Amino acid sequence: MSGVKLDNIVKSYGSTVAVNDVSLDIKEGEFLTLLGPSGCGKTTTLRLISGFIQPTSGAIHFGDKDVTGIAPQHRQIGMVFQDYALFPHLTVGENISFGLVERRYEKAAIKKRVYELLALIKLEEAADRYPSEISGGQAQRVAVARAVAHPPSVLLMDEPLGALDLKLRETMQTELRRIQQELGITAVYVTHDQSEAMNMSDRIVVMNAGIIEQIGSPKDIYSNPKSVFVANFIGQVNILDCHVATQADKTTELDYHGQKITAQNEKSLRQGKAIFLAIRPEDIKITVRAAGKSQNSLKGVVSEALFSGNVMKISVTLDSGDVIKVECQPKANNFDIGDHVHVNWMPEDCNILLN
């Protein structure tokens, strides 16, 4: 087992660049998720780590070992595929032992290891069944057991839960995380599902158009997105186009269509600069009257009100024409379409983005 290091990896196909100068330092035992829309280069990055494709330039290290140019079968990887890719002609037990046979384990050792793994994935009774005779969730667990049977340097997972239904997916997220932590294995996980990424990861790498937009813990990425793309991709967000009016020590006064907005901000910005202001829907409160001076407050009309059980999703069309999405408690917020209201939020809930 070891960490994984990517140095300035570039992968291009003709004139298209799939992965553009990606550097990553994955720590030993870390669960790292590559997150992004389809075509962002996350799967290509995973396949580069696995060795199924080779980088156009750059280097990949597993621990101290340079594995660039080495074929996948010599890399000591574990790989889990979206559609499981279990061998249909082999039983569950034989699938799990496949890699052990290739690595020339003793017969007795293979038997012992297979039963250990069946216990780990809680499928002891399925050892002699064929892949066609088990459910999707079970197949996925077998795929994981097969991948980690001979302890790999890194466990690579390519949207492994994509084919499962929502309920099962959530159970499997916990399950995968448990297995990964029990084995203390380094894991790289690819998904386009942000909630999956948030639930499972130690760190998330948000990718877009072949480059890394941001790396950080789920919490960090959610509360401090570095770009409009990341803010939009992780959860819901309201973006307002503003200009910098004045810049003080830790607060910036913004101009939004002639109205003043106060934002807490550590960046130093020059006056008149155009920026994007990001505010999360759950940080906004709706009131009938304008809130006190300490808060930002804008006037508008309720244009949509959706009740979805635990939250009320309200859209407010501002005087400027922009629409602000708000999420709030259903009990305390009984607003109807057409109501004239104020949307209010604290300066510390503002996030100023430059691109």
Q: Rule CB under 8 A: choose which of 7, 21, 28, 83 binds other proteins.
A: 83
The per-residue DSSP string of 297-329 comes to: EEEEEEEEEEEETTEEEEEEEETTS-EEEEEE-
Q: How buried is 92 (Cβ within 10 angstroms: 0-12 exposed, 13-18 middle, 19+ buried)? A: buried
Residue 99 found at the interface with other proteins (CB under 8 A)? yes
Question: Are residues 165 and 135 in contact, defined by beta-carbon separation less than 8 angstroms?
Answer: no
Residue 132 found at the interface with other proteins (CB under 8 A)? yes
C-alpha 8/C-alpha 19 separation (Å) is 10
Smallest separation (angstroms) from other proteins to the CB of 176? 17
Which two structure tokens, joined as six digits, stand for 79? 């790989």
Residue 72 found at the interface with other proteins (CB under 8 A)? yes
Residue 79 found at the interface with other proteins (CB under 8 A)? yes
Residue 335 found at the interface with other proteins (CB under 8 A)? no
Smallest separation (angstroms) from other proteins to the CB of 110? 13
Residue 146 found at the interface with other proteins (CB under 8 A)? yes
Which residue, among 280, 240, 270, has the nearest Cα to 257 in the 3D structure?
240
Q: Rule CB under 8 A: choose which of 117, 147, 286, 353 binds other proteins.
A: 147
**27: DSSP letter:** P
Smallest separation (angstroms) from other proteins to the CB of 281? 40
C-alpha 110/C-alpha 99 separation (Å) is 10
- Which range touches other proteins (CB under 8 A), out of 13-21, 148-156, 214-222, 307-315? 148-156
Residue 81 found at the interface with other proteins (CB under 8 A)? yes
For the window 45-64, what string marks contact with other proteins as x by the rule CB under 8 A? -----x-x------------
**For other proteins, which is the closer residue by CB, 74 or 293?**
74
The per-residue DSSP string of 57-68 comes to: EEEEEETTEE-T
Contacting residues for 220 by C-beta, under 8 A, at least 6 apart: none
Residue 98 found at the interface with other proteins (CB under 8 A)? yes
- Which range touches other proteins (CB under 8 A), out of 58-66, 106-114, 126-134, 177-185? 126-134
Residue 161 found at the interface with other proteins (CB under 8 A)? no
Q: Rule CB under 8 A: choose which of 66, 102, 165, 304 binds other proteins.
A: 102
Q: Which residues bind other proteins (CB under 8 A)?
A: 50, 52, 71-74, 76-79, 81, 83, 85-90, 98-99, 102-103, 130-132, 146-147, 149-150, 156
